[in-house]
Structure 1
Amino acid sequence: MEITEDWVRGLTGWKPFKEGKTMSDQNLVAGLKRSADGNLIQGTMREGKLSLRPIVKINGPSDVGVQCGCPEYRATGGVCAHAVAVLLSSIATKKASGPATTPAKPAAPITPVAWQIRLSPRLESEWLEGKLSVRLVPASGDIVTPSDIALTAWLADRGQSAEGGVLALRLAGDDAAALLDRIAGHPRIEIEGRPGPFRLDPDPGPPLRLGDSRLEGSQVFLSLDPSETRRKLVRWGASPAFVTRSAAVRLPAASGRSGWLERVGALAGQGKLRLLATEFLADLDAWLDLFEAPHLGWLGDLRFASAAPDFVLDLDGSLDSLDATLSVRYPGLSPRALPDPGDDLPGLPAIAPDGHLQTRQLDSEEAARHLLIVAGFDPGQRRARFQMRGRDAILAFVADDLPGLRQRWTVREGDRLAEVLKRVHVVRPEIEQKADFGSSLAFELSFQTTGGQKIPGPEMRRLLGSGKRRATLKSGAELVFSRDCEELVQPLVSELGIGRPDEEIRLSGAAGILFQNLREKLSKSRITSDQSSEIDQISNEGIRAELRPYQTLGSSWLADRLKRLGGALLADEMGLGKTLQTIASINHLKRLESPPKTPALVVAPTSLLGNWRAEFEKFAPGLKCLEFHGSGRDRLREQVPGADIVVTSYGTLVRDLAFHLQREYSVLVADEASLLRNPDAETSKALAKIQAGGRIALTGTPIENRVQDLWAIFRFIAPGYLGDRKDFKERYDDTSTDPKASAGLMERLRLRISPYVLRRTKEQVAKDLPDKIEIDEWLTLADDQAALYASLARSGLDELERIRDQQGEGAGRMHLLTLLLRLRQTCVDPGLLELPGRKESSAVKIDRLLELLGERSDNSGKTLVFSQFAKNLRRIEERLKSGYGKVLCLDGSTRNRQSLVDAFQSEAGPAVFLISLKAGGFGLNLTAADTVVHLDPWWNPAVEAQATDRAHRIGQTRPVTVYRLMTRDTVEERVRRMQDKKRALIDATTGDTEDNPPTNWTSGDLEGLLR
């Protein structure tokens, strides 16, 4: 097939394409070879100390295989920048060679030579003039290095070899840069007439330090730190470099724009530079790479801010074929068809009148494209073009998606489409609130077309019952029902038991709130619960804390729901202060109580009892808190009636159930309420029996494995609200393969539970939190580790068949789970298996972890390391005896959790906190750490997120970097893909704490992880 630049661009992201194109333009690909059929292409390249030989195999228009030794390929397995460079270089080579006239002779094999590289004694002055004089002397007897191989291949491409002995080269421009790239890092470089070796550093050196920088009107003023002005600046390809008598090193910046290197040279030579802001912005990326990360205000009042884009959608076509073009319009610029992320957008970056530096908002651009793809459009060859085919799909788009897009963007219809849409009538439900009777609300429900015609309820039910979303009228016009009709309104009306929806509907309690939320959803195309305007803000008198606005709203919402509904689920994301919000609401309710007072009961995991008591003592010292736990609790029974708060564990509650059933509590709080997910467990049944005036459930992950987890929590906070378990399963257990149908079902479930649930994420409410950088680092098992893995998998699968035949499917599943556990342990550290008579195997994850921790120690950093295998943590602890700073370990056997936390937080130097995922996934505040390492993937990604949030929470002042170390071609890679389904389920409706896969994964799913 023909290789084009557009085709290559479509194979990968904008960043690898941009970097690969730069490599190709700079002729960094040597030894380019292509098979006779043109489908196998390879080349050689140098990158720092790495000698790379990227290979690209073209299997089809969208099927390309890559092999490369670069970190990018090892991490992603995708089309890396070096593969892009090889593909683009093959295009340039083909163009340059022109049509073939005679068959090319096979290239003679190249014998690599060990070279002695001698540079001119006038190197500095020659290099300043843009020239290089080099003598290459064969060094017989020396070891051939990767640099020698690259240099020999480059010379061969130029028609030169070592056969004639010494080679004398005089090079300039791109040729000089190409030679420097190939000999960088070479061990045998010297300057003639000078003692000692000359070091040509293959890796870029540190950025420059600025002494002063500011924005002065339309000009940018830059001044270097005095220590940076004593070195000579030369050109190394598109990058500046400093050269001394013994070494040369590139700076970590490059620009292909003319004049930039000259401006950097002027800055280096004079120590100061003044240039127009427009010139500075034209090379913004290069300037930012050149300097150390500047402090805020490094250019006076100039601040970086993404320009707010508006989008313009042009539609044209018919009800059978629809074409769309997406354009973006930034302030002060004309609309432009959405360009690729790496393309220049004339006019940006720019300095806005308010002094902010405006740049493209790439995330918003990609989100806009995603909206169209989700709506059913297929992306075209260009990033701005989209297509949709089929009458049903187009009418569904007109009914469901187009109204929302009109609210977000400017939508322009071609004359042909506008005429067609005049004959399309969309039916939408409308809810009007007629009256508020205090304890109940009155609503009117109707179904209307876009032309204002009302359709009677019986007729609507008949049409919807036919299973079709559209009907053709006698006039030839199309009648289309919005998804809201069939997926939201009709099912919810049925669930609420509304028998005559055509008449005035009077609802109270949760049903009234639900209908209010449904009305708001229909009018705004989004759910926003009545979390502000209709909730009275409670007083924080007696609370010793400055609550953030969202926390004040949360505590007021809890008090309101307890008063109106008797129950609430606070599902804020981990780290937003659910404990503090609960304490504030209980404190408020306690102040409203009139004698005789009854205590509130908080039930939490054993590991969190001390935390709850400490938080009450810290934030609400006026409330008397009693920790009712342990072997000596019998003597505390008499103190329970006099306490304001009683804190106990789930296990203790079950054992003391008879005692608790004899009394009533003002409020019953279930912390980490995901532990109630099994409604048949003793803890879940016991909690449902306790008498309480109000019930609060707290969890950041109300759904772990399946939506039925939510039913168990609601049996606690609102018994009967979601119907019986069987009815709930039939309504909401999603078995659809249609993404839009699944999304509609989850939307209905969100609405159904919305009266009782408050869910906020950090992005929504905690704008002061720093960024979280997540890195999936993929490793390859060492040979002996891979052999052990393969052997275990092979023998385990053979044994699985025997067990199934002899003992049945149940025994087979247990064997399968055990096998998966052993394979996961092998991926982390084969030593965890304790195989008799076997030597200690390699453990690539542990080796990589030690590298990371070594780097962190050098920078005095603090790191959290999570693993689900406590034995693994103890083995790591033994290897961190010295050289890594303070090392702490927390697992299920730890009793002094808080003292370890305090020691880690207060440590002045580097520190490592090894934490069992099960024991430390919640209840810890470890903001002294700014790096988190996960050694093994958990079945549920939400549990990993909870653990990460030990560091990424309020109080953190630095960006948090999260490393997930995972192994390629193992069960870990397959679990990672399966996790995406679980993450979608969790996100759609608002952690498994046991080391088990989700219960809705079949044995076939689990077995598929191995084959």
Structure 2
Amino acid sequence: PQAEHGACAHGYAAAAAALERIGAELERRAEIAEDWEGNLARLDGFLAPERASLEAEPDRRVVWRIGVQDGLEVKAYEQRRRTSGSGFTRGRGLSFQRLIHERALWTTPEARALAEQVTRHVRRHQGTHYQLDPHHALLALVGSPRVSWEHAPERAVQVERASLSLRLEPAPLGALRLAASFGGVPVEATAELCEESPIAYPLLDEDRILVGHADAQVLRFLRQFPPEARVFPAAARDALCARLDALERQVPLEIPGELQSPRVDAESEVSLTLRPLPNGVEVRAVVVPGEGVDALAPGEGSDEVARWEEGKRALLRRDLGAEAEGARALRERLGLPAPRGGRWTWRTEGEEAVELLARLDALTDVQRKWLGPEVQVSRPAGVEDLKLEVKEKRDWFGLEGTVEVQGWDVPLVRVLKALRKGERHVRVDAQRWLRLEEGLLERLRRIAVLIGNRPTETSADLGLHAAPALADLLADLPEPVLCSRWEAVAQRLRNAEQIPDDPPPGLRAELRPYQRRGAAWLRRLSAWGMGAVLADDMGLGKTVQAIAVLLARADEGPALVVAPTSLGAKWRRELARFAPSLRVQLWRETERDVATIRALGPGDVLITSYDLARINSVAFHAGRWASLVFDEAQRVKNAATRTAQALRELQGDWRLALSGTPVENALGELWALFRLVSPGLLGSWQTFQDRYAAPIERNGDRTRQAELAERVRPFVLRRTKAEVLSELPPRTEVRVEVELTPKERELYEGARLAALLDFERLTPGEDLPQPRFQVLAALTRLRQLACHVGLVDEHWREGSSKLRAFLELREELSGAGHRALVFSQFTRHLKLVREALAEQGVETLYLDGRTPARKRQELVDRFQQGEGELFLISLKAGGTGLNLTEASYVVHLDPWWNPAVEDQATDRAHRIGQTKPVTVYRLVSSDTIEEQILALHETKRDLSSSVLSGANQAGRLSTDELIHLIRWGGQPLPTAEDAPARAAELAKPPPEPERPAPPPAYKANQEGPEDEWDFRFSEGVREQRRRHRLSQKAMAERLGVSAATLRRWEKGGEPRELDLERRVREQLFADWRTR
């Protein structure tokens, strides 16, 4: 029973739920019923508004009577409701004056509308006159139930809107007539119709009035064609019908049923129309529904179009969907983008147009029609279509020829000019384009970038550096015409290719595989006669590869090696070690005269420095050198110096430049290098600047960058350690953040704000030498303050956060038994570090730019033999020529702008011979200019890589960009409480650059310093002091003190308290607002 009771309960619940659902559904249906009944009621009100207005008529109303006896006239009558309540009186005339003034009469919409149309005219001696234009009034009365005739008020009149059109009608004897039709009613009184607008046409018998605006085009047609001119005889029937479609697009045209044929299906095939453009072609996809029908846009417009056949119009049914699908498929076959705005029209220019026409030529099933002269595209021309002649010129080869295809003779020079601009196809004339096969295109492109700067209409010049590219092109030509000089060059190329990778006999060195390949590459270029740049990473053995080629060329004549002073002795040792058969001399140990040069012969090698090569240039120019080697060739990256000029004037059969960093800051350095070893390769400086340097450095032009890389690629060899030395121990980079003390921060911020105040006078965008000098001096001052305040203020006695961090790091390294190289850009910084280390009893070695050449090698040998825990080296002086593999740690005390320079220094330890992992520490002061410099390291790619491997690069920073570094030099915006610095610190002059030792009086047995003496140094110091006096005066004016007082403070006197807070706060706000 309990189970049954439970089952009943469940059944009852289910039934109750079902009833509830049914009740809810009935309620919903009732609501829907109520909704549709209300909607129908609203629809009745919309369809018959007059019904509601009649049921709610007021006691009086305005009705309208149309008079036609003396011309069309609309009159107003006032009617009142009869006392019986049934209907209205006959009414009496209502003046327009009362109509516009008695608003109580505006009981209907048309009453208000017509009252607003009444115009008032004041006439002299006749009073005020009120008028109502009947044509416009009838437009307001369309559909009104309160309109009747003036002569028969009992007859209601229906005012209907109509339009004026043309109607094609049959006429006797097979003629056709274009009759005027107004609302389907023939109209012949066209003169009157043309004069009135809107048009009103009473139909008395039908109690109707047709009213409407006349179509302007119809009126124009009726004016030009009177009734007799609109009748066309049977002979003109077909000609008339051919024009009716065009007429129907301009004016409304009615075609009666007896002049129409049954409907038929239209054609849906999509074709193309092409229109030539000044530099391309316009392509449009169209469909032609049938013969005699104009082309239409696929899938657009009406789904029916008309065609006239035998005097009758046939309607063609279009399949718009099929048309659109056909157009889409054709677009995809042609590789065109989706049409914009649904229009099937594309405009293509230049290379894109040629590619499109080439694809179209391959689609033989696609119909096309040219709307103008046809643009022709040749078949791809191959090597077999090239006719070439190589002629002999004084210092060049002349290249002449034609590309002959499809009966076209295209001059080769025109082809090369187009390819030089980066184009793939050659425009022959306004209607013809030449295409090239990929193989011929690539070969000619290699030639195009190497031709001289001024090709004529028929000939282009090529230098010796273009010989491999030209030889590759000539290899497959059927019948080239060659001069004898080219035959000799080609033979030299073939001979060079036969040189094996084996090192020359007599070389006492076990070359690594990459060194064997490098030496063989150099020997092949020397056999060919082209200069080379060996740009391997530091420590990969560029010297031994150069010695190998010098040994191979020993029989050709004497060799001259130009190297920094500090490397002269190293070259002599290396030559004696690896090539003992060569006779080696140091120029500084000879008589240094012309006789010494002329006494040299095969197997002799003379070593000199860059300074002596310039100073004794007359003697060096007296000889003829079989080989010229320039070590650390970046020393002459400025082609305008006297040293560079002297080296270029040397008479040599072959030239080799060795440089681990052929490009450090600008592409002009690369041009200077090749100007030295291969003068014709990159052209004049102006040509190089216009074609490569400016587009690449300013605009990041990837095309020109790739072209430049391709141009120099055969003559530059660069390998990195990661590529060739898998056995080299890893190198780890560690960044050590250093926090400045509050006092150090105060001085740093004071100097930064003082610099910004000075820069307010500079013109934005100005990059002149003097403002740039001022900005660079400020940057140097900030960099020094980030290292050690003592570099700026000689009275500073509170130490340095960075020095303390370094000493802690030194203790860690010393405790683990490690030895390290310590680099800094500032020699005074190194001296402060050296003094601090001496106080702790730490043994150090020291080397900078003033260290004599002999002592440099002595210091290197001592360190390699275990002497000294730390080797302190200035960054520029220690970047080359040092092998210090006994160190496994490298410390950079301060960052330098170009990371390549730091990498050079690091490579003193991380190079061939290193057996231990190398760790590099970089000490960086937080929230200072040093962080901004490291950010540049991350964003600025090595410019050398951009040319040698195609990576991105960054050009020289502008003055504005340098000021930006000072303004936002890595630190957060300081507050006024953090920034006030002593006035003396604000006014301190920027430090003078370290003065290099002046060149000694050169004697027969004495050589100058390593770096070339810059005679402008003293001028720069004087200019710096002059600008400081000016800034000192400006600072005094800002602080409200005299210049004498400010100078006294600089000399050590303590300044009185000044109200600097307001000035600092204003400057901080200005900085923040412009951020």
Give the structure-2-normalised TM-score: 0.46
> Larger C-alpha radius of gyration, 1 or 2?
2
Flag the structure with higher helix content.
2
Give the structure-1-normalised TM-score: 0.49
